[in-house]
Amino acid sequence: MFKIKRAFAIMLIMLVALMAACSSSTGNDATKDEPKESGEVERTDIILATTTSTQDSGLLDVLIPMFEEQQPYNVKTVAVGTGQALEMGSRGEADALLVHAPDAEQELVDSEDVVNRQKIMYNDFIIVGPADDPAGIKDAAVAEALTKAFDAKATFVSRGDDSGTHKKELALWKEANLDPAENGSYVETGQGMGSSLQVAAEKKGYILTDRATYLAQKDNLGDFEIMVEGDESLLNIYHVMEVNAEKHEKVKKDGAKAFVEFMIAEDTKKTIADFGVEEYGEPLFFLFE
Amino acid sequence: MELLLQGLRKAIEMILSGDPVILEITWRTLKVSLTAIMISTLIGLPAGMMLGLIKFPGRKLILTLINIGMGLPPVVAGLWITLLLWRSGPLSDFELLYTPTAIIIAQTLVSLPIVTGLTATAFQQINEKLIMQIKALGATKIQLVLILLKESRLAILAGIIAGFGRVIAEVGAAMMVGGNISGETRILTTSIVMEVSKGNFDIALALSFILMTIAFLITFCLTYLQQRKRSQ
Amino acid sequence: MTSLITIENIEIKAGDKPILSVPRFELRQGEVLGVMGPNGAGKSTLLKTLALLAPPGRGSVFFQGQEVGDVLALEVRRKFAVALQQSLLLDTSVYHNIAIGLKLRNRSRKEIKEKVAYWLEVFKISHLSKKHAYHLSGGEAQRVNLARAMILEPEVLFLDEPFSALDFPTKVQLLKDMKQVVENTKTTTVFISHDLVEIKYFTQRLIILMDGEIKQSGPTAEVLSSPNEAAAGFIGEWSELLS
Ligand SMILES: Nc1ncnc2c1ncn2[C@@H]1O[C@H](COP(=O)(O)OP(=O)(O)O)[C@@H](O)[C@H]1O
Ligand SMILES: [Mg+2]
């Protein structure tokens, strides 16, 4: 063959070399399911659909390796919006769900899309705001606090993203018989909890948040304090469940079952109860006694 | 401003300390994006050449579709691929959803039209007489193609650079078809989105610096390759 | 003189419009053939047909008596060289532009080096060897173009208006150099031109092509001084200017 110019040759060689390097290394990824070390059993992938806030808490980064150590499964944790996680369940696109939207979950149980639903833990929502508390809502009951903030036309930041937290917030407004959108000072971010907290800090507004994210972020928020907490309506209850393999044939029944059983095991419970204590001085999740 | 500096410091810290998670994510990002652009090049270059050089019925239509494809929003590509790869979808048996391969497919889909389209444009612009002249110099078909490739390398590399830019910056599709699974499909862009949503702006910023650095380095190499002969 | 290239039954059309219609034509060994005719007469098409750069339609092309089909085309084409009006140099140095044909034939590096040096010398462009082809003047580029063709030591050289874009002094100089080269190498040459002076100076035989047909063919001086009825309309006015 005729000799092509060096630059061109280099280009070709580089392309081919990169190609080879990449295909061999993606090959490694593909074989990831196979035994990592000699003597280890073959692993089956299972898909766990959960919510972004659950993933953001970091709890799964502790639990999943524990589970994978005990069981021959590789968990693919897909963190999406609550709506999408539930939809993945009802379509059989996931094997197990870990979510916190009890009413919506019940619908999946009723339609037999999920089975073996187990109550795992809860954390709670809190209302936080600037330390000077412009609307004077501190320590009030939830409905009262919201009413005060509404009447004072104080800035209230909402995620507005149809997430579990957003749904919770809307339910709380409804209970207080208020339509927050009527207020010009109601801000919808359409973003995740962390970003929304930043917006609230920036705008010196109140916001409903889960405790875990707030604790994780407290240092970045400046003069921010918890205003309302401890009310029963502020609980955020997590359930784990198997997607029904009878109804959705591709669901990996054994893996899903193993995961649910793992989540309610004593060891796991202890890990959940201890999670966050070291870092934040208090737990992020609580067990039902 | 303070946050920016903090992010930059964090980035340097994370790279210097050789944080294995960061290294792994960076390496995967490189692997996935380079594989995608490589596949786009291997398919798009010959396809673009044929579209540019050979006149056949339906060619205009294909070129139009490719031009539309250049603007294909990644999330749309991601959505289509998700629907195809789903357990309930037609390609479910390959079990590709939430794997790096799925991200590669999505990134290939969004970069292929760019590489193909820009290559086709480059070859359409080649003077027909030049082709005749090269044949007259005694070139075989393969030699002709190689010379034309070399003559069009500026435009071709521009296409590859543009395609790579799209691929490395892409997040919507990677999130959707990859699932941002830790240790498996988490890449720099999806990590940035995740860290922002967690409120870890410093880590997000640090990751963004790493992303920009590798994007810069690779684009720089490609641009160098593109420009080196010219300066002689 | 023996026939080097023969074409037969050439009928080339663009849609319904005839472009070239030649029942039979022979290019003879060692001759320098001129081709004249108005714009669009089919001169370039004839050249492409002879040089195996365009399909001959239903007609045939013979090289040294043997019909050239697809199988032989590349082998025979490699015995030819072509230079067009536009120099169409590649995006690289003068040296590599001139070397390209030999590289395509997988010649040794040593041979290429020696021959390039020789032809650079012949065309008086040795000093440009390292220069990028895109930075040449029109005359320099055309010299590179011709050197790129001559280095192939072709059995037939095809020139399609190679001097028409050059200014007068450059043209005269290059024409003289080219005539010298062709005479020294005894290369069979087909030379298309609109310029009577070039034709008169350079060629031995002349054909007049009009509307895709060869209207007259004969020794150059003869055709120019006594064009037949068909060619008169084209040649006649030219000759008046010169006389
Ligand atoms: N690819 C083509 N398609 C259609 N018509 C063509 C093509 N190439 C040349 N022609 C036509 O063929 C005729 C002869 O062209 P050409 O051989 O280039 O003429 P000349 O070189 O004598 O000026 C012209 O009328 C030209 O328009
Ligand atoms: Mg012409």
pLDDT digits (tens, 9 = 90+) for A218-230: 888 889 999 999 8
pLDDT bin (cut points 50, 70, 90) of residue A28 is very low
Instruction: Say whether C104 and B151 touch across the interface (CB within 8 A).
Output: no
CATH of A44-122+237-287, one of 3.40.190.10, 1.10.3210.10, 2.40.50.140, 3.40.50.10540: 3.40.190.10
Distance C55 CA to ligand 1 centre (A): 14
Residue C44 Cβ < 6 Å to ligand 1: yes
Considering only A13-22, A120-129, A267-276, C219-228, which range has the smallest mean pLDDT?
Answer: A13-22
Q: Is the CB of C15 under 6 A from ligand 1?
A: no
Does ligand 1 have an atom closer than 6 angstroms to the CB of C55?
A: no
Position A164 scores a pLDDT of 77
Q: Does ligand 1 come within 6 angstroms of the Cβ of C37?
A: yes
How much is the mean pLDDT over chain C?
A: 92
The residue segments making up the domain with residue B205 are: 2-231
Q: Given 3.30.1280.10, 3.40.1380.10, 3.40.50.300, 3.40.30.10, which CATH number is that of C1-78+204-243? A: 3.40.50.300
Are residues C104 and B130, on separate chains, in Cβ contact within 8 Å?
no
Per-residue confidence (pLDDT) for residue C1, from 0 to 100: 63
- Per-residue pLDDT averaged across C178-203, rounded? 94
Angstrom distance (rounded) from CA A208 to CA A103: 20
Report which bound ligand comes closest to the CA of C164: 2
Q: Please report, to the nearest 10 degrees, the dihedral formed by the alpha carbons of residues C141, C143, C149, C150 taken in order.
A: -160
Does residue B200 belong to the interface with chain A, where contact is any CB pair within 8 Å? yes
Residue A241: pLDDT above 80?
Answer: yes
In this structure, the residue with its CA closest to atom 3 of ligand 1 is C14
> Distance (Å, rounded) from C-alpha A5 to C-alpha C93?
11
| Topology of domain A124-234, CATH | D-Maltodextrin-Binding Protein; domain 2 (3.40.190)
Beta bridge partners of C140: none
pLDDT above 50: residue C124: yes
Q: Which residues of C touch A1 (CB under 8 A)?
A: 106
Residue B74 has pLDDT above 70, yes or no: yes
User: Using a CB-CB distance cutoff of 8 angstroms, which residues of chain C are in contact with residue B143?
Assistant: 104
Identity (one letter) of the amino acid at B145?
A: V
Identity of the residue numbered B212: M
Instruction: Please determine, for the modelled complex, whether the ipTM score is greater than 0.90.
Output: yes
How far is the centre of ligand 1, averaged over its atoms, from the C-alpha of C14 (Å)?
8
Closest ligand 1 atom, CA of C45?
Answer: 17
- CB < 8 Å from B in window 110-139 of A: none
Q: Which ligand is nearest to the CA of C40?
A: 1
Closest C-alpha residue for ligand 1 atom 14: C42
Mutate to test the pocket of ligand 1, among C45, C190, C194 (most ligand atoms within 8 A of CB): C45
The reported pTM is: 0.82
DSSP state at residue B178: I
Contact B98, A47 (CB under 8 A): yes
Instruction: Using alpha carbons, select from B40, B78, B37 the residue that is nearest to residue B185.
Output: B78
pLDDT tens per residue across span C49-78 = 999 999 888 899 999 999 998 878 999 999
- Alpha carbon distance C214, C45 (integer Å): 13
Query: CATH topology of A44-122+237-287 equal to that of A124-234?
Result: yes
B197 at the A interface (CB within 8 A)?
yes
Q: Is C39 in the pocket of ligand 1 (CB under 6 A)?
A: yes
Q: In this structure, which ligand is nearest to the CA of C42?
A: 1
Query: CB–CB of C77/B138 below 8 Å?
Result: yes
Average pLDDT over residues C9-23: 92
Confidence of residue A150 (pLDDT cuts 50, 70, 90): very high
Convert the pLDDT of each residue in B134-192 to its tens digit.
Answer: 999 999 999 999 999 999 988 999 999 999 999 999 999 999 999 999 889 999 999 99
Q: Which tokens belong to B176?
A: 């959707």
Ligand 1 pocket check for C50: Cβ under 6 Å: no
Domain-wise residue ranges, chain A: 44-122+237-287, 124-234
pLDDT in tens, B55-68: 999 999 999 999 99
Give the total number of structural domains in chain B. Answer: 1
Is B143 in Cβ contact with A8 (below 8 Å)?
Answer: no
Give the residue-averaged pLDDT of A39-61: 86
> For position B165, which CATH number holds?
1.10.3720.10
> Residues 6 or more apart from C14 whose CB is under 8 A from it?
none
Which of B126, B137, B141 should be substituted to probe chain C, the one whose Cβ sees the most C Cβ atoms within 10 Å? B137
